[in-house]
Amino acid sequence: MLEFAVITGVKAFMVLNVLLLTCAWTTYLERRFLARMQSRIGPNTAGYRGLLTPIADLIKLLFKEDFIPAAAHKPLYLLAPLMAFIPAMLPLAVIPFGSTINLFGREINLVVSDFNLGLLFILAMTSLGIYGIIMAGWSPNSKFSLLGGLRSSAQMISYEIGLGMSLIGVIMLAGTLNLVELVEQQSSILDWYIVKQPVGFVLYLICAFAETNRSPFDLPEAESELVGGYHTEYSSMRFGLFFVGEYANMVTVSAVATTVFLGGWQGPFLPPVLWFVIKCFAFLFFYIWVRGSLPRFRYDQLMKFGWFVLIPIALANILITALFVLL
């Protein structure tokens, strides 16, 4: 029992730290790639080619004034960043990073928790994140935050349906919600669920972009339209938590997409963990690439697209998949 606790604790600690570091340096990667796509240079001053930029950002955020509006509902105001931040990291607990390895004479599963309802757990945690946004929108008693929070929560709730439905096709084919088993099923490239469920993958992609509030669905914080969305009234590291939470969401969504559709850690020649990282970063690069390419949706277009296009296609996909499974 003690051994299990220690091993799990160490794994959780490592995953958490790797995730936080990945989030920090994803901001750097995003700024660099986006700059190159827009014919700019991007941050290149702090450290070699600007590699220390995230640390500089962190120091800057920590030393800023931690401001709490006078009219704010304090408990909720203080709780909201954590509510946005923590659910963003939790899904990583069930995602397998590689097969088992031998360490100090023990077989160690490279997954924090080999959990039978893994996929459901991920969907549940993604839904929890909305509470943070609603609280952050409502508690500071500011109209800009409230509008941003409303937009954001409406968008996330709408696209969550599509997100769940896009995964149902995979679940039906796999017959399991356990992510470790899901990865083991995708041993050859033809067994990857992106091949078996291309429509599901595209739907997941679109819904994931909307779910993480990224362009072209970045209406909640549309810089050119709103003041700043639900985190308008936050400053210092509280804002930083929202920021990290958003990037943690991106990393999580990439990891889920890798696990469910792209074969997880499966791949030839290279070690499994490396394959997982490569696939994740390819997905993150795609995020940045889309941000550099596509313009923002209008709000009514966003809602119409979610309800009248994505959900019907997802339903049709489920129906067709069900027919195939049945036959």
Partner 1 sequence: MFRVLKEVFIAIPKGMFVVFKQMFHKPVTVDYPFVKPPMAPRYRGLHFLERYDDGSERCVCCGLCAASCPADAIYMEPAETERGERYAKIYEINELRCIFCGFCEEACPEEAIFLGKEYEFASSHRDNFIYTKDDLLVKWPRTKPSEVKFLRPMRRVAWQQSEEGRPQH
CA pair distance 89, 22, nearest whole angstrom: 12
Q: How far is the CB of 38 from partner 1 (least distance, A)?
A: 8
Q: Which of 66, 293, 324, 325 binds partner 1 (CB under 8 A)?
A: 293
List the one residue from 12, 18, 37, 150 that touches partner 1 (CB under 8 A): 37
Residue 84 contacts residue 241 (beta carbons within 8 Å): yes
Among 6, 10, 40, 271, binds partner 1 (CB under 8 A): 40
Distance from C-alpha of 28 to C-alpha of 24, rounded to nearest angstrom: 7
Can you tell me whether residue 101 is helix, strand or coil? strand
Q: Which stretch binds partner 1 (CB under 8 A): 39-47, 118-126, 240-248, 261-269?
A: 39-47
Residues in region 120-139 near partner 1 by CB under 8 A: none
Is residue 56 close enough to count as binding partner 1 by CB under 8 A?
Answer: no
Q: Which of 47, 69, 267, 292 binds partner 1 (CB under 8 A)?
A: 292
**Candidate residues 16, 24, 29, 35; the one interacting with partner 1 per rule CB under 8 A:** 35
Residue choice 55, 290, 303, 322 for contact with partner 1 (CB under 8 A): 290
Q: Determine which residue in the list 44, 109, 127, 141 makes contact with partner 1, applying CB under 8 A.
A: 44
Task: For residue 97, give the nearest of 266, 227, 299 by alpha carbon.
Answer: 266
**Closer to partner 1 at the Cβ: 41 or 274?**
41
- Choose one: 32-40, 82-90, 229-237, 271-279; the region binding partner 1 (CB under 8 A): 32-40
The pair phi, psi for residue 80, each rounded to 5°, is: -55, -45
According to the binding rule CB under 8 A, does residue 303 interact with partner 1?
no
Euclidean distance between CA atoms 29 and 304, whole angstroms: 32
Cα-Cα-Cα-Cα dihedral of 216, 314, 252, 3, to 10°?
180
| Complete DSSP assignment for 224-270 | TTSSSGGGTT--HHHHHHHHHHHHHHHHHHHHHHHHHTS-TT--SSS
User: H or E segment at 163?
Assistant: helix 143-174
Show the beta-strand stretches assigned E in the chain.
98-103, 106-110
Check residue 108 for interaction with partner 1 (CB under 8 A): no
- The residue within the footprint of partner 1, chosen from 289, 298, 315, 319 (CB under 8 A), is 289
Size of the site for partner 1 (CB under 8 A): 14
**Which residues contact partner 1 (rule: CB under 8 A)?**
33, 35-41, 44, 289-290, 292-294
